[in-house]
Structure formats: structure tokens, C-alpha cells
Structure 1
Amino acid sequence: MSNYLDYNASTPIDPRVLNVMIDAFKNKYGNADSRTHAFGKSARRIVEESRGNIAELLDINKDEVFFTSGATESDNISILGLQEYAEKFSKKHIITTAIEHKAVLEPLSVLESKGFEVTYIKPDINGRINPDEVLSNVRNDTLLVSVMHTNNETGVIQPIDIIGEALDKTDVFFHVDAAQSFGKLVDELKSVKYSFLSASAHKMYGPQGIGTLILRKKKFKSPPIKSIMYGGSQEHGIRPGTIPTALVAGFGKACEIALSEYQSNLLKYQQIKKQIIEMLDSSGIDYVINGDVEHSIPNTINISFNGVNSEALMLATKQYCSISNGSACNSHSYKPSHVLTAMGLDIERIESAVRISWGVDDSFINDFHSLIQIAMTL
């Protein structure tokens, strides 16, 4: 079986997380919003314990944590849930970047069709956004700034700390898509000032189908978000529907583990990236890294093997490594990466780009050498 190197799409589930979920599925099957019997109360205890684990990981208050199905839903609520407020106060301008995940870009497109104006900031050739350019576009009618923390294709870390600090002095809301950094860049996220934060469990060894939306309070008031779905008052009306107790339990356990292990994990990721780059350099293959290596998360690298078509490489090496050439949400699309395009890379470089993302297991290194050898023959 090939080595799995697509952790940015979804990580394997940690066995410790799975054990907690199995117990919840078997023994805690009550509805967490059933207040009249012990089964519901037992499920509610699990939900609130997990909410506390997420809050501790981010160093925030428990009442700022809301459960969703994942970062995509959280992104949608953060953006579309502000429409009523925006129209009431005539603040219909939004700033974002051209390299955001489609979970941000597509709801913004919906608002554009309803008369909102969106400013898209492009990165430099290394994939990094200039915070001054973001802030210089803020106007009196600016409602929201949305900037991802870590790009899912290149791994480049964006200067959300600078942007958040500046926006905190204004009435402009700040949304951070932290899907790729949540549970990894723990210290950085603790210090950032933001209004909304989106994250998914399945990017950090938790289960698929559960995530969180963080609504930070400012002067004891939550942002004026309205639900974009209807059918219940769960999660204080932000996200209706029965809370999936077992998934929440798994998410909470993944956060507990991340809090105790993120530092050692980061060191391991860094060691693996160093090995990969050393192997590439010693092989003599013609390659270029897409994205700022100095400002990137250590478990991700985006490489163009010059003259080698990425689709051909993935097919030729699938017995050794399972890799991708972009976001999983675009895996059925053969359009050039919107991220690499926004960086101003030429089409040949884009079409030869592959994304490699890993966990703490470095057993794939020998097979990565085979990938390089095959790339040299294509």
C-alpha cells in the first residue's frame, strides 16, 4: 500500500480519538439537548467537556465555542450570517485574498450577487499576503476581512497577527480560516485577535464531519451573526440540529492530545521537511518550491518538478505515495490552481506542481526517494 501524504486533505484518525468515539457511540447515545433524563445529561457532559478542550487549546472562553459540521460550514456562517447586519448598517464591503479556500470564496460570490463589493488581495510570488495592502483597503463601509491562517495548497502562513491587531481597533470584523493550522500552530492562534475562527477536526487527527466556529466576544458582546439554517435552537441558535455527541467527543479528545503534543509534533514535521529538501537537493532533479519556505507550516511543501506533468507523476508514483496537486475540493477539476495562479506563476510551473503533506510518521522517506527517481524519468 502506498504512503499517505495528503494530510492537508484529511488526516488519519488517532486511535485514542477513535476509542473515545466508540465508547460514546456505544454508551452515550442520548441527545445532548434532551434535558429530562440521564441519557441526555450524560451526552451533554461530553459535549461541554469537549467544548472546554477546544477553548483551552485556543485560550478562549467556553461560551465562544460553537459546533458545526466543519470549517466549510463555519466559513459560510461567518460570511453569510452577517448579511442582515451588513444591510441594516450599509456596510457591504468585504476584503479577502485571492488564495482563500473555496469555502470562503464561494459564499463571498453569493454576497457579490446580492450587491456586496469584495476586494481580493493577491499575494506576492512567494504566496504571502502584504498586511499593509489588506489594511489600506479598509473603508468606512467595510464589514469584514477574511484571511486564512495557513494556505492549504502551499502551506504559507499569512500575517493574521498584524491584520488582527490593527482591525481590533476598528469596528471591522475579522474572520480567520484556521483549518490547516488548528491544533498545530497553537501558540500563534492563542495570540491572534479575531472575530471569527473556523476549524475542522479531520485536519488534526479527529473525525470527519465535525468542526467549530469561534465567535469572540468584544466588550462582552458576540458578533451579530444570524443562523443560515433553521430547525432548532441548538448551539444558541447559531447552528440548529442534533449535536453528534460521538463526533464531538472525538474532536475534544483530538484537541486534548494536540495541546500536549503539538510542540513535539512541530519538531517532527520540521525534521521531515528538512529531509525532503535534502533529498531533492542531493538528487540533482530540476525542481522549485512554490511558496515561502521561511513562512510556511512545517508539514506541507508544494513542489514543481520542472517539465513533469503533475497528473502523470501522481499516476506513475501512486504505488509509493498518495499525493495531490491542490485542494481536495477541486480534485475533480482540471482547472489550474487558483492559488498558484494568484501568485503569478506561469502555467508550466503550475501544471507541474504537487502538494505533499504529512504527519509525524517519517517511514515514507524511502518511498519518497522512489518518487524523485520516477520524476526524473518522466
Structure 2
Amino acid sequence: MPSIYFDHAATTSMNAEVIKAYVEAASGAPGNPSSLHAQGRAAREKVSSARDRFAGILNCEPSELVFTGSGTESDNSALFGAAHAQLKRGRKGIVTTAVEHHAVLHACRQLESQGFSLTILPVDEFGRVSLADAQAAIDDTTAVVSVMAGNNETGTLQPIAEIGEWARKHKALMHVDAVQAFGYMSLDSRELPIDLLSLSAHKINGPQGVGLLYIRKGTPFQPLLYGGTQERNRRAGTENVAGIVAFAKAAEMAYGHLQARREHTENIRGSLLKALTEQLGSNSFMINGHPDYRLPQILNLSFIGISSESMLMNLDLEGVSASGGSACTSGSLKPSHVLSAMKFSSERLSSAVRFSFGLGNTREEAEKTAKITATISARLRNR
């Protein structure tokens, strides 16, 4: 059975040219970038070249970039590194939002257990933070503000520029998790009032297990990992040379065709919505997320009366890969913290399905998925 992959927000397949770059980097002579011999210098040059290319994409200095092992590590490094450095300046406040990825929320909770004061900002029914709420929470005692660019479940965009400006007025450090937004929106470090930015390779058709952390020059920071002097003493551990080279290639390809990527995924999203409306009627589902301030590649829908687990299982049996609005932890199903923060009813929470799009998807796949979904819906409702 031909499969339809509509779960690009979870991970993406590696682009053929990215695989080629990875293989070429991994197939050469062994070399540790920290070694002084010829092989080590060759490996170090590959990492330096990748760093330079990222600097061009983000409009920053190469020295402001730190390669990590994942987006989660980038988030954790940013929060713990900045918070503990700011503590030395007498700042103990942490401000974040209720809809952040758990890599941020759990890190913030851990900081709270270490004595920091945590404020979690609420969101409206579209999953968007109020600038007024953020301004009320950020003051001269705030150490770090962490607000994601675009949500991984709903696609809702946050007012990071406006919040960042307010944080800067109070000398608080601004961290942005842009893991989901990277490759779909411009992230100019000189235009955005941010101090730390977290990225990940596997969301843009790069390899899994590689991340990047931007740290603005002059930002107080303490490393999360110890044991080596790599990455200018900011991230100990031998660099993943092949992964970093492939990440840079994926980023160049993504930003070289940024508008085309946006238009392509927006087209697939629109086609699925249109076909679902024709097949089911607009009253048979609800869109979760902001109608205007959103990423183009994510569509979160609630099929009221049909559990997300039932819908996902049946979609999978028909060859369609999607994700639910709830996460499975230790074998027990829990509602999505993102949708819960949007104060949805239990029926809307329990029936949410996320479709997310990317390279390789077609309008025909969207239309086929709509037909499959309509058939499943009719069958489950008739029960």
C-alpha cells in the first residue's frame, strides 16, 4: 500500500543531496576536529565551513554559533546556561509560555526547583500569547524569557519580536525555540531582538541528532556540558562532523528556496482543508490554531465525536501517517498540554489530529487523505 507521510513536524526524510553531503563527510579519513594533525585539521575545516554557512543564513558571526546534539539540547543549554549566568547578576525570574515544547517547559520547571521564580504565560483560544501579559511578567529581576517562534502542534506564531524588545528594555535575555519555524520563516539575528536561538536539523530534511544554538556576542552564558574545550568552551564533546556538514547543506537548501517551501506546504494544507470541507462539511471538524499568525506546514483539526487514537489508527491502516493532539507517556494517554492551555473542551482535546506537510507531498495526496478521512469518519460515527 502506498504511504502518505503527513507527519513532517515530527521528523523529515533526508534530502538526497543532504545524504550525499553526509556520506562524503563520513567517508573520508577519520578526523577529530580537536586533533592537530592533518586529519584533525581537515575535520575542523568541515565544521568551520558549516558554521560560516549558518552565519550567512542567520546573519550573525560564526563565533556566535554552537553545534549541539539536538534541538532539545539547544533549548536546555540556552535556558540553563543563560539562567545560571544571570543568577550571578541577581536575576532569578524565568518567563515562558504554557504552549512551549517540553524541552523548554521541563527545563524551566527544573530551574524552578533550583530556586528560580517561574512565570508561565497563558494563551488565548488560538494558542497565542498576549503581549500585555508578557510585559506584565517581565521586569528588572527577570533572567530569561523563552518564547517559541511557531508551535509544533498548532503552528501558531508568537510575537517574539515585540516580547524580545520588552525583554531587552529590562536587560532580560530572550531565548527563542525556532525548531519548528526554521526553514519556513526568516530568522535574522540582527533584526530580531533575541539573544539565544535553538534549531534542529531533522525538521528541515537534515539528519537526526544535530542541533544548533545561536548565542549573541556578549550574552552571559554557562555551559551545560563539561569535559572539553570544543565550541569555544561552550559545549564539550567531539563534534558530529558528518551531521554538521549535512545540517548546513539542508539549511542552505531550505533557505535557498524559502518562499517555494512556504508556498508548497501552504498549497498542500489548503488542498486538504478544501477537500475535507467538500467530503465532510465544515461542521464536521474544527481548526485548532491561529487563522492568520501561523506556520504554513501544520494543520491541527478536531473531529468531534471521534477519538484521535481511533482516527490515527484507522489512518495508519490506510497508509496515512499523522499525529495526535495527545501524547503517550508511560503507557497512559494524557491530553496535549498545548491544546489544554487553549482551554478546549474535553471533546475537542480528545479528537485532535495534526497533519504536517513537507517536501514530496502532493495535492493528490491531500485529496486522497480527505477521502480516506471522510470514509473513516462515516464508519466510526455510524457505530
Regarding TM over 0.5, the answer is yes
In the TM superposition, 1:93-172 aligns within 5 A as: 93-172=93-172
> Match of 1:374?
376
**Kindly, what percent of the aligned residue pairs are identical?**
38
**1:2/1:322 contact within 8 Å kept:** yes
Tell me how far 1:320 sits from its aligned partner: 2.5
Q: Which residue of 2 aligns with 1:305?
A: 303
Superposed structure 1 runs of 4+ greater than 4 Å apart: 187-190, 327-333
What is the distance in 1 between the residues matched to 2:190 and 2:357?
24
Structure 1 stretch displaced more, 74-83 or 103-112: 74-83
**3-state SS of the aligned residue for 2:302?**
strand
SS in 1 for 2:126: coil
Q: Distance in 2 between matches of 1:331 and 1:70?
A: 23
Write the mapping of 1:18-37 to structure 2, written as runs, cut at 5 A. 18-35=19-36, 37=37
1:170 deviates by 3.0
| Partner AA of 2:91 in structure 1 | K
Deviations 1:185-209 (A, max 9, x none): 1257773220100010001110000
Residue in structure 1 matched with residue 289 of structure 2 by the alignment: 291
Whether contact under 8 Å (2:149, 2:181) holds in the other structure is yes
Q: Scaled by the length of structure 2, what TM-score is found?
A: 0.93
In structure 1, give the amino acid aligned to 2:351: S
- Separation of aligned partners in 2, 1:321 and 1:20: 30
Larger mean Cα displacement after TM superposition, 295-304 or 137-146? 137-146
Query: Retained in 2: the 8 A contact 1:102–1:329?
Result: no
Change (3 A) 1:272 1:100: same
Distance in structure 1 (CA, Å) of the matches to 2:183 and 2:168 = 24
How far apart, CA to CA, are the structure 1 residues paired with 2:186 and 2:81? 27
Partner of 1:354: 353
- More displaced, 14-23 or 81-90? 81-90
- Post-superposition Cα deviations, 1:185-239, rounded to whole Å, max 9, x if no partner, equal 125777322010001000111000001010012xxx2x21111221101001111
Q: CA deviation at 1:279?
A: 1.0
TM superposition shift of 1:280? 1.8
Cα distance in structure 2, aligned partners of 1:376 and 1:238:
55
Cα deviation code 1:240-295 (max 9, x no counterpart): 01001100010010111112111111111111111111112212340000011211
How far residue 34 of structure 1 moved from its aligned partner, in angstroms, is 1.0
Answer with 356-365 or 243-252: which moved more.
356-365
Gaps of 5+ in 2: none
Distance in 2 (alpha carbons) for counterparts of 1:59 and 1:376? 51
AA aligned opposite 1:41? R
Provide Cα deviations, 1:98-134, integer angstroms capped at 9, x if missing partner.
0000000111111111111111111100111112211
Q: Aligned equivalents of 1:162 and 1:142: distance in 2?
A: 16
Match of 1:338 in 2: 337
> 1:1-378 alignment to 2 at 5 Å?
1-35=2-36, 37-186=37-186, 191-217=191-217, 221=218, 223-285=219-281, 286-318=284-316, 319-326=318-325, 334-360=333-359, 361-362=361-362, 363-369=364-370, 370-378=372-380
Counterparts in 2 of 1:20 and 1:329: CA distance versus 1, 3 Å: farther
Paired amino acid for 2:107: P
Return the offset for 1:29: 2.8
Alignment size in residue pairs: 373
CA contact (8 A) 1:29 1:245 kept: no
Question: Does the aligned pair in 2 maintain the 1:32–1:43 contact within 8 Å?
Answer: yes
Deviation at 1:3, TM superposition (A): 1.1
Over aligned residue pairs, what C-alpha RMSD do you find? Answer: 1.7
Amino acid in structure 1 at the alignment position of 2:349: I
Separation (CA, whole Å) in 2 of partners of 1:63 and 1:329: 39
Is residue 154–residue 301 contact of structure 1 (8 Å, CA) maintained in 2? yes
CA shift in 2, pair 1:172/1:187, >3 Å: closer
Do the aligned residues in 2 keep the contact of 1:232 with 1:240 (CA within 8 Å)?
yes
Change (3 A) 1:326 1:216: farther
CA distance in 1, matches of 2:163, 2:313: 41
- Offset from partner CA, 1:299-356 (integer Å, 9 cap, x none): 1010001111100011111033111114778696511000000001011100000111
Distance 1:287 1:190 in 2: 41
Cα 1:263–1:121 change in 2 (3 A) is same
Q: Tell me which moved more, 254-263 or 76-85.
A: 76-85
Q: Which residues of structure 1 form unaligned runs of 5+?
A: none
